[in-house]
Amino acid sequence: MLNIINLNINQLKLNIYSNYNLVIDNIIDIKIYNRIITIEYNNNLRVYICLIHFGNGDKKYFVYLKKFIIGNIIINNSIQIGNFLPLTYIPLGTIINNIEIKFLKGGQLVRAYKTKSKIISKEKKWVTLKLPSGEIRLIYKKCSSIINQQKNYIKNNIIKYIYKYYLIKKKKIRGIVMNSIDHPHGGGEGKSQIGKKNPTTPWGYPTLGKKSRKKNKYSNNFIIF
C-alpha cells in the first residue's frame, strides 16, 4: 500500500488518481488454473485488488477477497473461497457476493466491499437469497456468484480522511437555507421548518421515504419479502 504519511500534498494528489483506468474483471474462466500474482490498492475504488494470471496467458485485475494470499490457485470447478460458481452448486448458508441477476451477464448485486449475501434455500429452478438490505429474493439457479465477501483493510482514520478530502465531491446546500423561489423548503424567517407535510425535491416530487420503484416492474415477482 502507498505510504501516505511520507508524501507531500502534490504527490498525494497524483497518487489518488494514478490507477483510475484499471479494469477489474468479475468473471474468471471455468476449468482453468488461475494464480494470484500481486495484491494492490485501487485509489479510485478505495478497495484492494489482486492481479490474476490466467491459465490461458491473460492477466486481469480481480477484487480482493478475504483469505486471498499471493500464489493461491483459483479453480472454478470446486467450492473454495474466491471461486465464481453457479448458485446451484453452492451449499446452503454460504456467504457470497457479486451475484448475477441474468445468466452470463456478470455480477450486478452485492458488489460493494464489506457487503455479503446468504443462500437460504433452493427449489427446482430458483435459489432464495437474503440481500444486505434485508430483502429476500429469488435468483435463477444457473446464475453465478463469488464465494466469500470483499475485503478492505483501510482502518486508519487519518488515511480515510485524506482520501475523502481529495475526492473533490461537490458541496451540498440544504434546501431550508435557500429562498422560496429556489427550493420548496426555502423561505421563512430565521431557522424555520420546511412548511410541508413531507420533504420534497427541488422540483416538488416527494422524497426521503417515498418509494420510487415502479409498481408493475417485471422483477417484482422475484421479491418474496
- Structure confidence at residue 220 as a pLDDT band (50, 70, 90): confident
List pLDDT tens digits, range 126-141.
Answer: 999 999 888 999 999 8
14/132: higher pLDDT: 132
- How many other C-beta atoms can be found within 10 angstroms of the C-beta atom of residue 185? 21
pLDDT at 57: 78
Question: What's the predicted TM-score (pTM) here?
Answer: 0.62
Q: What's the chain's length in residues?
A: 225
Check residue 160 and give its pLDDT: 61
Provide the pLDDT for residue 158.
54
Which residues in the chain belong to E strands, given as ranges?
34-42, 47-53, 59-63, 73-74, 84-86, 95-97, 99-100, 107-109, 117-122, 126-130, 136-140, 144-147
Q: How far is CA 58 from the centre of its chain?
A: 25
| 49 vs 86, higher pLDDT | 86
Is 122:141 a contact under the CB 8 Å cutoff?
Answer: yes
SS3 breakdown of the chain: % helix, strand, coil, rounded to 5?
Answer: 10, 25, 60
High-pLDDT (> 90) share of the chain, %: 7
**Mean pLDDT score, 183-204:** 86
User: Got the DSSP string for 141-154?
Assistant: TT-EEEES-B----
Q: Give the CATH fold of the 9-147 domain.
A: SH3 type barrels. (2.30.30)
C-alpha cell of 2? 502507498
Confidence of residue 21 (pLDDT cuts 50, 70, 90): very low
Report yes or no: 34 and 14 within 8 Å, Cβ to Cβ: no
